[in-house]
Amino acid sequence: MDLHGKHIIVTGGGTGVGAETAHTLAKAGATVTIMGRNAETLIAQGLPYQTCDVTDASAVKRAFDAARDQSGAIVGVVANAGAAETAPFARMTPEALQAMLSVNLIGVANVWQAALPDMKSTGWGRMIAIASTAGLKGYAYVSAYCAAKHGVVGLTRALAIEMGTTGITVNAICPGFIETPMLEHSVANIVEKTGKTTEQARESLLTGNPQKRFIQPAEVAGTALWLCSDAADSVNGHTLALSGGEV
C-alpha cells in the first residue's frame, strides 16, 4: 500500500478519525493536506494544512487551490468533516435539518467537486466519504443526521457510476459508534437527558453491536488506506460497514 507521489486531502483532519487517517496515509508515503475550521488543532498535527469550512463551496475551492499550489495535483480526498446533533423529530427545526445536511452531505459534495478536475486530468483518483451506519439504517433521535448520511450513501453510489471509466473510484466508509470526542459528546448528552451513569450511557450505545465494543479510529484509517491503494482498484460505489456485524 505504497502511496508515494499521491497528494491526498483529509477534511476534519485536526482531531479524531481525520487526524488518525491523515497520519496513516502519510506513513504510507502520501503527501497529505489536512483541512478544518480550527487552525490550532490542524497545526498540532504537524502536517500541511489549510483552514476552511466545508459548507462554503468558495472557501473549499480556495483551500484546494492553495493546497494544489503547495503540494501538487490532488488525487485523493477523504471527506471526514461532520457533526451530529440529537433531537426528537417533532422538535427538529428546519435550521437544525439544514445544518446537518450542510456539513454532512453538502460538505462532501463540495470537497469532491473541488478535487474532480485534478483527478480527471490525472486519470486516477480516490473519493472517500466517512459516512456512518446511520447512512445504512435508522436511529432514533438523530433523524436529521440519518437523512444526511443516507444522502452521502446515495451520492457515493451515483457518482461511482458516473466515474466508472475514468480511473476514479468513489466509496463510503460507514462506521458504527467510534471512540472519539464526538462519542464522548453523545455519552454526555445521554447522561444529561436520562440520568444514566456514564457507563450505562456507553453500554446503551453498544446494544446493536454484536462485538459489544466501539470502533477505533485506526480501523477507519486502515480502511481508508486500503481504499486509496491500488489493491482497491475495483472497489467502487461500495459502502463498507465497520460495525461489528450490526449492519
By annotation, the residues acting in catalysis are: 145
Strand segments (E) across 122-230 = 125-130, 168-175
Strand segments (E) across 53-108 = 76-79
Q: Are 17 and 181 in contact (CB under 8 A)?
A: no
Strand ordering across the sheet containing 7-11 = 49-51, 31-36, 7-11, 76-79, 125-130, 168-175, 239-242
Cell digits of residue 75:
488525487
Position 92: which residue type?
A: M
Cα 68 from Cα 73, distance rounded (Å): 5
* Radius of gyration of the chain, Cα coordinates, nearest whole angstrom: 17
